[in-house]
Amino acid sequence: MIIAPKVKDFLCLTAHPEGCKKNVSNQIAYVRSKGEIPGQAKKVLVIGCSTGYGLASRIVAAFGCHADTIGIMFEKPAKGKRTATPGWYNTAAFEKFAKEENLYAKTINGDAFSQEVKDQTIEMIRKDFGKVDLVIYSLAAPRRTAPDEVTYRSVLKTTGEEFTNKNLNLKDNTVGTKTIPAATKEEIHDTVKVMGGEDWKLWMEALSKADVLEENTVTVAYSYIGSELTYPIYFEGTIGAAKKDLHKTAQEITEEMKEKGVHAYISVNKGLVTQASAAIPIVPLYMAILYKVMKEKKVHEGCIEQIDRLFLQKQLLDQPEVDEHGWIRLDDLELSKDVQTEVKRRWELVDTDNIKELGDIEGYWEDFYHMFGFGEEGVDYEADVDPVVSISSMEG
Ligand code: NAD
């Protein structure tokens, strides 16, 4: 069939297999162009491996470190006229490219929060790897069924007082205002349950108990802090409460597993258009302005540039460069004084009439479409394509 984008609010309901493949191959080419990554990551587990920062991490591990990878994701294959989710197509392409490079790559599609998937992963590590030496935790999920069998749902709200600010209406690219309600205590608690550190720690404890962690294993989880402009909805909001819990968890894991030399890091990344971030109100307007400012200053990066820098420049695998909190700062360029001063100046001025001039609306939408495999150069979108694509490690 011919697959075209079907956009609904901040989601695209279709994905293009050839476009997703192109996106993955572009990321691989970038990693290759930056050269080999020193350090010892040879057997890597990526939890949340199929899109955004997790996909970029798997690509850097495989094509920068020549690591074998096991990935965990929650994606849907194609069914009838419904295309697969982009993460499905990305993973099919990733495995194909990894195989061509003689790299092991297997993927488990299931709920990473569940004990079953943890057990299945441990079994796969035991059988195929023996042990892992790097664990990347890159989940972004709206809900989690925890070991107490309660399903917690995360909300994107502020804490304290309700908050009103400018907002980009993604339906028609107009700038209006949006009021974000304050969360209840229960909503904050539930968001921390979903996006905080509890599940990361459960993963690390399960891997440690099963004795499938090498000595000195590195584990990293991704966080975001962002600009003061978005503090009320992000860092001081419900999701920020979850991130603060994640930060605390890094210290707990390192402390708990110090005899084995396991070190848990937080990498604070740049704000980027991904399926997870497009859903957060106010943030897309900030991103559109940020993209424009960072592109003008020639310091803009996407997921792959960020993660390659995490390994190469920040030396994730070998005593990484950290700040006073012990966090790796990939948001250094985003939060630099000159970028933030300019973003804040434009934020005051921005409205529907000048958004195209002050913000990078085109860049925002370009990234958005790329996530679903659309708008890729060299892909024939008029051609008939089969939406059913299999992932080689899941066949049979
Ligand atoms: P994303 O939506 O692109 O990726 C989420 C991944 O998690 C996908 O691989 C998905 O399949 C997987 N997943 C979701 N629920 C799952 C489940 N129940 N079981 C198994 N897999 C599941 O998100 P992203 O933006 O790359 O976010 C990854 C991490 O990076 C998050 O912790 C996020 O907060 C953080 N981060 C994002 C940004 C940003 O601007 N996008 C910035 C800094 C940090």
Average pLDDT, the chain: 96
The answer to whether residues 263 and 218 touch, using CB atoms and an 8 Å cutoff, is yes
Which one of the listed residues 30, 234, 286, 291 is annotated catalytic? 234
Give me the mean pLDDT over the 326-338 stretch.
98
pLDDT band for position 50 (50/70/90)?
very high
Q: Which two tokens stand for residue 100?
A: 């061509």
Q: Is residue 185 part of a domain?
A: yes
* Index of the ligand 1 atom closest to the CA of residue 71: 9
Q: Is residue 171 part of a domain?
A: yes
Full domain range(s) for residue 358: 7-394
Q: Is residue 294 part of a domain?
A: yes
Q: Is residue 287 part of a domain?
A: yes
What is the per-residue pLDDT for 21? Answer: 98
* Index of the ligand 1 atom closest to the CA of residue 144: 18
Q: Is residue 2 part of a domain?
A: no
Q: Is residue 226 part of a domain?
A: yes
What is the per-residue pLDDT for 27? Answer: 98
pLDDT by residue (tens digit) across 192-247?
999 999 999 999 999 999 999 999 999 999 999 999 999 999 999 999 999 999 99
What is the per-residue pLDDT for 274? Answer: 82
Which has the closest alpha carbon to 301: 56, 22, 19? 56
145 bridge partner residues = 151
Domain at 151, CATH number:
3.40.50.720
Rg (CA), the chain: 20
Give me the mean pLDDT over the 7-11 stretch.
83
Q: Is residue 270 part of a domain?
A: yes
- Rounded Cα gap, residues 92 and 107, in angstroms: 9
Pairwise pLDDT comparison (278 vs 333), residue with the higher score: 333
Which has the closest alpha carbon to 108: 25, 50, 38, 193? 50
Give me the mean pLDDT over the 357-377 stretch.
95
Residue indicated by tokens 């024939």: 380
Check residue 48 and give left, alpha or beta (phi > 0: left; psi -120 to 50: alpha). Answer: left
Cα–ligand 1 centroid distance for 109 (angstroms):
14
Phi, psi of 223 (to 5 degrees): -130, 170
- Known catalytic residue: 53? no
Give me the mean pLDDT over the 302-319 stretch.
96
Cα–ligand 1 centroid distance for 70 (angstroms):
16
Residue indicated by tokens 């948001």: 331
Q: Which two tokens stand for residue 76?
A: 């849907």
pLDDT band for position 38 (50/70/90)?
confident
Percent of the chain at pLDDT exceeding 90: 93
The answer to whether residues 16 and 385 touch, using CB atoms and an 8 Å cutoff, is yes
Q: Is residue 1 part of a domain?
A: no
Residues near ligand 1 with C-beta < 6 Å? 48-54, 72-75, 87, 111-113, 138-141, 222-224, 269, 271-272, 274-277
Which has the closest alpha carbon to 280: 170, 194, 370? 170
* Index of the ligand 1 atom closest to the CA of residue 331: 43
Number of domains within the chain: 1
pLDDT band for position 396 (50/70/90)?
low
Pairwise pLDDT comparison (396 vs 308), residue with the higher score: 308
Cα–ligand 1 centroid distance for 289 (angstroms):
23
Give me the mean pLDDT over the 275-290 stretch.
87
* Index of the ligand 1 atom closest to the CA of residue 55: 9
Asked if the model's pLDDT at residue 308 lies above 90, the reply is yes
Cα–ligand 1 centroid distance for 246 (angstroms):
14
What's the longest Cα–Cα distance across the chain?
59
Closest Cα to atom 8 of ligand 1? 48
Asked if the model's pLDDT at residue 40 lies above 90, the reply is no
Asked if the model's pLDDT at residue 11 lies above 90, the reply is no
Phi, psi of 269 (to 5 degrees): -95, 175
Asked if the model's pLDDT at residue 276 lies above 80, the reply is no
Give me the mean pLDDT over the 114-120 stretch.
98
